[in-house]
């Protein structure tokens, strides 16, 4: 098959059954103790600019992940507020 490897040259930290809305929220809010070892989380500070780009063809107010429940806009909003309280971005 002539299939392009879209991961060529990329180091993927999470894949497969580990990819869930909860993991995503734990990663962006810096919750190191809540991710599978040796997991990586966002360690940004008050002088950093954080850009989150999530592409999904789901419905209004939700983001679908390959595993587990959907991520609702209210949950993402709470995570962004947590990031703000923790001074994780400008």
Contact 21, 70 (CB under 8 A): yes
Phi, psi values for residue 61, rounded to 5°: 80, 10
CB 22 within 8 A of CB 63: no
Pair of tokens at residue 29:
């809010």
* Catalytic residue, candidates 11, 43, 49, 57: 57
Q: Is 57 a catalytic residue?
A: yes
Output the six-digit token pair for 57: 């063809």
- In the numeric block, the tokens 């098959």 are attached to 1
Q: Which residues are catalytic?
A: 57
């Amino acid at each position: 098959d002539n299939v392009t490897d879209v991961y060529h040259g990329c180091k993927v930290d999470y894949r497969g059954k580990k990819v869930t809305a909860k993991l995503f929220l734990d990663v962006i809010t810096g919750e190191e103790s809540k991710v599978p070892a040796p997991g990586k989380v966002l360690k940004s500070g008050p002088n950093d600019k954080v850009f989150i780009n999530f592409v999904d063809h789901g419905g209004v107010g939700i983001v679908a992940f390959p595993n587990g429940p959907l991520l609702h806009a209210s949950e993402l909003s709470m995570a962004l507020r947590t990031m703000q309280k923790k001074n994780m971005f400008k």
